[in-house]
Amino acid sequence: MLRGLNVIISFPKGNNMSVESTAQILTAIQSRSQGVKELVKATQRRSQATVQLVHALRAQGLIASERKAGGRGRPRDVLRVTPLGIEYLEAYSRLRVVPLRATEGELRKAVEDARYAGRLAARGVDTFRAFMELNAFVRAAGHAT
Amino acid sequence: MSGLLDTLRRFTGLLDRNHVDYMVIGGYALPFYGRIRATLDLDVAVAVEDDEFRSLCSRAEEDGYRVSLGSPLNPYCIYLDTVTGFEVEVWRRPDGIRWDGETLRRRRRFSVEGLGIWVMSPEDFVVTKLARPDRSAQDEMDVKSVLERSGADLDWRYLRVRAENAQVWGILQTINGRT
């Protein structure tokens, strides 16, 4: 479910469609009106799964299909994003832009610390005990004169 | 025994006596799954309804705790253990976590110097860290350390569902992809 919308977006039981998948499909359709076949190609998803997703999105009112006559042959169904779908995408963009607080260096340090903790555990050291000892040490250092 | 461990022993004893399901969250859960860093913040999530929570507060006060409400934005109470002098932050709704049977089923039991404690699963740990309204660089570093140390053991399917529900799947992917 995506907060900030005045609708609750849910999917039929057994459908594992995520917010990200929904946004991906909507973005692909929005960038170019296309049929399901082209959509499968654009999103690199399995065709059966894509058909199911398209059905689910249509049922939710996020997309609609229009019959368009081509130059030759039968008219084809082309998908388009509805105003509700556009609202969904806008809410998704607002929520997705969450800046990372940690720097690359800080994340690297966290990785090093985790590897060290992993090595300690592999050597049979009780990491929770090490944590308690570290806490005790820091507290003692705080009281040291 | 350290005062902190004694605080944990006394508090989990109080919960066990009152048949309250709980799990240790935050910095005290971290050394089981990620890096080891010092913290005094002892956070425990309890699975109780409103009336049960009030009753737990009353019983805790009989047991030597002084209970005070925390920030209205973060729904937790502070239990001051007047015996040890340490405080416990008691959460009813950890950020981003849906308290349900699955959360409880996935918590893990650890033994620390003879003390058995329930600890939040690493997947829920990651989600609650990222879902904090005041998420800091340290929270992200904690998550990164869990991904590094426990990444291979994580149930990524469950993590993804929970992270998407908490709307932190995007940031989790970003952190996972860095360095």
Closest residue of chain A to B36, computed from CA coordinates? A131
Domain around B88: 3-177
Position B98, amino acid: R
Residue A52 half-sphere exposure toward CB, CA atoms < 13 A = 14
Best A132, A133, A139 residue to mutate vs chain B (most B CBs within 10 Å)? A132
Q: Report the pLDDT averaged over residues A11-39.
A: 70
Q: Do B140 and A118 touch (CB under 8 A)?
A: no
For residues A46 and A66, which has the higher predicted lDDT (pLDDT)?
Answer: A66
In this predicted structure, the answer to whether residue A23 has a pLDDT above a threshold of 70 is: yes
Predicted ipTM?
Answer: 0.81
Residues of A in contact with B114 (CB under 8 A): none
Q: What band does B71 get if pLDDT is binned at 50, 70 and 90? A: low
Residue to test with chain B: of A128, A138, A143, most B Cβ within 10 A: A128
Mean of all residue pLDDT scores within chain B: 90
Residue B80 — pLDDT band, cuts 50, 70, 90? very high
Q: Which residues on B lie below 8 Å from A135 (Cβ)?
A: 2, 4, 38-40
Give the model confidence (pLDDT) of A64-87 as tens digits: 988 877 667 777 788 899 999 988
- CATH number of the domain within which B115 lies: 3.30.460.40
Return the higher-pLDDT residue of B117 and A13: B117
CB contact under 8 A, A117 and B36: yes
pLDDT in tens, B113-153: 889 999 999 999 999 999 888 889 999 999 999 999 999 99
Q: Which helix (H) or strand (E) holds B102?
A: helix B101-106
**Core vs surface per residue A53-92: b (16+ CB within 10 A) or e:** bbebbeebebbebeeeeeeeeeeeebbebbebbebbbebb
Min Cα distance B76 → chain A (Å) is: 23
Give the CATH number of domain A19-96; options: 1.10.1270.20, 1.10.10.10, 1.50.10.20, 3.40.50.300. 1.10.10.10
Would you call B151 an interface residue with chain A, using a CB distance cutoff of 8 Å? no
Alpha-carbon distance values, B131 to A25, A34, B122, B135, B178 (Å): 26, 36, 14, 7, 19
Contact: A131, B175; criterion CB under 8 Å: no
Nearest residue on chain B to A103, alpha-carbon basis: B137
Name the pTM for this structure. Answer: 0.69
Q: Among B37, B112, B170, whose Cβ lies nearest the Cβ of A128? A: B112
Sheet holding B42-46, edge to edge: B65-69, B76-81, B87-91, B42-46, B22-25, B115-119, B108-112
For chain A, list residues whose CB is within 8 angstroms of any CB belonging to chain B: 1-3, 18-20, 95-96, 98, 100-104, 106-111, 113-118, 120, 126-132, 134-139
| Number of domains chain B is built from | 1
Question: Could you say which DSSP state residue A66 is in?
Answer: E
